[in-house]
Amino acid sequence: AQSVTQLGSHVSVSEGALVLLRCNYSSSVPPYLFWYVQYPNQGLQLLLKYTTGATLVKGINGFEAEFKKSETSFHLTKPSAHMSDAAEYFCALSNFGNEKLTFGTGTRLTIIP
């Protein structure tokens, strides 16, 4: 079975500060990992994904994530938070040949002016 754990259901950072959202996973086979963002009253949008190759993945809106197999982690970072980053963020996992996507429980990011 595979699972995704997001540490911290709520994270607050000041505008201009570093954003760090944590995601750990469990998978018996090499994972595909994703970060999605959900703005209020909207569906989810893909921020970035890791399948194979380079472990540092760059996404939209200045976000990036690093796949660390030894730590089973895929944390999302952004060097400088912007007010428009306030949203809920979901980490998700799938595998090659498995079309099902398993989501974490989400982290709500609040930006303090």
Partner 1 sequence: NAGVTQTPKFQVLKTGQSMTLQCAQDMNHEYMSWYRQDPGMGLRLIHYSVGAGITDQGEVPNGYNVSRSTTEDFPLRLLSAAPSQTSVYFCASRTLGGKLFFGEGSRLTVL
What does the binding site for partner 1 look like in residue numbers (CB under 8 A)?
A: 4, 9, 36, 41-46, 49, 90, 99-106
CB-nearer residue toward partner 1: 73 or 102 = 102
CB of 80 to partner 1, least distance (A): 26
Q: What are the structure tokens assigned to 99, written together?
A: 């079309």
**SS3 (DSSP) at 32:** strand
CB-nearer residue toward partner 1: 28 or 41 = 41
CB-nearer residue toward partner 1: 74 or 90 = 90
How far lies 111's CA from each of 30, 69, 81, 88, 108, in Å?
34, 30, 7, 12, 10
